[in-house]
Copies of this chain bind each other. A is one copy, B any other.
Amino acid sequence: MAEEPAKETRGKKKGKADENMIFVGKKPTMSYVLACVTQFNNGLNEIHIKARGKAISKAVDVAEITKNRFAEGAKIKDINVGTDVINSDEGEKLNVSTIDITLVR
């Protein structure tokens, strides 16, 4: 619903993440911070930090830590939240919240 169109995808939309997208999941927070810093160092000026469900809190941590401690001059350009419908193992439909934090420098 509030899901933004994936403008940056380059024609193909697969499980593989685009290089300017960081999908936050179960790894330690600093793994994702490192991924963000690496992408900035690779020359990208805009990265999307995405997460859903309980990982949303961690995504905010990643954005804040990257911005405040590692990427001088980086700032949060935009934050979008939305709802994804996923199929559970029992075949039920579950709603899960999503977040997309756009970090620019």
How many angstroms from the CA of A83 to the CA of B76 in the assembled complex?
A: 13
> Is A47 part of the contact surface with B, judged by Cβ < 8 Å?
no
B82 engages A64 (CB within 8 Å): yes
> Is A21 part of the contact surface with B, judged by Cβ < 8 Å?
no
The majority secondary structure among interface residues of chain A is mixed
> Is A6 part of the contact surface with B, judged by Cβ < 8 Å?
no
> Is A54 part of the contact surface with B, judged by Cβ < 8 Å?
yes
B57 engages A83 (CB within 8 Å): no
> Is A81 part of the contact surface with B, judged by Cβ < 8 Å?
yes
Residue from B79, B95, B97 within 8 A of A57 (CB atoms): B97
Looking at A55, A79, A82, which has the most chain B CB atoms within 10 Å of its CB? A79
**Which chain B residues border A36 with CB–CB below 8 Å?**
none
